Amino acid sequence: MSEHEHGAARRPAITRDSYDELYRSAAAVWTGRPNGQLVAEASDLVPGTALDAGAGEGGDALWLASRGWRVTAVDFSPVALERGAAKAAELGLADRIDWRHEDLDTWTPPARAFDLVTAHYLHAAWTDRAAMFRGLAAAVAPGGTLLVVGHQHGEQWGHGHASAHEAGALFTAEDVAAVLDPAEWAGIVTETRDRDPDAAHRTGNPVPDTVLVGRRR
Ligand SMILES: C[S@@+](CC[C@H](N)C(=O)[O-])C[C@H]1O[C@@H](n2cnc3c(N)ncnc32)[C@H](O)[C@@H]1O
């Protein structure tokens, strides 16, 4: 699961400019394992083309590629992308993943191009999230799947992990659903789900996930 190894330890709010610094702060910032909601949603899908938006060090992209997907892994941190690419080469998956250095604030993915568009913990206070999610949704091919996962809001979860996400950085699955045109989707599910217990244990972050799953008509 892709969470910070330092778990609940307080850390400064992440900003647009500090991601590279965060990645340089440790040999591996995330665990390298695929996120639980991705495994839950994609395990039974027929492998095709996937876009991993905010791919970080590539735990999800590598997992998808290992299952036969052709993945476009997008992030604006060159440090994270280089790590992902090195791991892909090590695992013999280099030809299955296109690591793209793009800013999702300004880069628009090709429309209707991917059988799966997945975004995990793409928390950003600085971004026009509605525009970003609209662009990601538009990139889902007919019959394809949109999966957007974030940390649930909530004072009850304490401030250990939340300190990483300054006010305004978090979103709900309903926020994402609000930018989708229901006529274009065969199904849209928004849910709060328990976090992968293993990841919760290892990272010290028990905050549930807010999850949107959409299937394009
Ligand atoms: C919390 S990390 C999660 C990484 C990965 N999805 C995972 O679960 O391991 C969020 C990632 O989104 C990237 N990111 C945030 N805003 C971005 C943007 N506007 N364009 C591209 N990447 C962005 C960051 O660089 C970071 O790698």
Q: Which domains does the chain have, with CATH numbers?
A: 28-166+188-216 (3.40.50.150)
- Name the 3-class secondary structure at 40: helix
- For residue 38, which phi and psi values (nearest 5 degrees)? -65, -45
CA angle 187, 205, 116 (to 5 degrees): 30
Q: How many CB atoms lie within 10 A of CB 155?
A: 7
Average pLDDT, whole number, for the chain?
87
Task: Return d(Cα 190, Cα 210) in angstroms, integer.
Answer: 7
Q: What is the pLDDT of residues 16-68, one digit of tens each?
A: 778 888 899 888 888 889 999 999 999 999 999 999 999 999 999 999 999 99
pLDDT at 206: 78
Cα 75 to ligand 1 centroid, rounded to whole Å: 6
Selection from 121, 215, 205 nearest residue 171 by Cα: 121
Burial of 215 (0-12, 13-18, 19+ CB in 10 A): middle
Residue for token pair 């036969």: 68
Residues flanking ligand 1, CB < 6 Å: 2, 19, 30, 35, 54-56, 59, 74-77, 80, 103-105, 120-122, 124, 127
Cα 41 to ligand 1 centroid, rounded to whole Å: 20
